[in-house]
Amino acid sequence: MDRPTHPSDETRAAEEEEAQRAAGADRMPTEEEARLAEKHGEVDESVAEHEEEMMERGVEQEGEGRIP
């Protein structure tokens, strides 16, 4: 691909429509999905601590790849 592509008006309209939709689940979980989620129970405390640490590190990240 040596040349850049140009989206059609139809593509741009679809992207604009999608951008206006609120974020969220597209459906409720099935009974089986809900049952399996309940089966897993509580999150291991060490996993929760690690997730918190990674969030804090991400906030303090600088340089390439940083999302303002």
Name the pLDDT band for 65 (thresholds 50, 70, 90).
low
Q: How many Cα atoms are found within 13 Å in the side-chain-facing hemisphere of 2?
A: 0
CB of 65 within 8 A of CB of 57? no
Q: Is 51 helix (H, G, I), strand (E, B) or coil?
A: helix
The single residue listed with the structure tokens 């592509």 is 5
In this predicted structure, the answer to whether residue 14 has a pLDDT above a threshold of 90 is yes
Span 31-61, pLDDT tens digits: 999 999 888 877 788 998 999 999 988 887 7
pTM check: above 0.75: no
How far apart, in whole angstroms, are the C-alpha atoms of residue 22 and residue 7? 23
Q: How many residues does the chain have?
A: 68
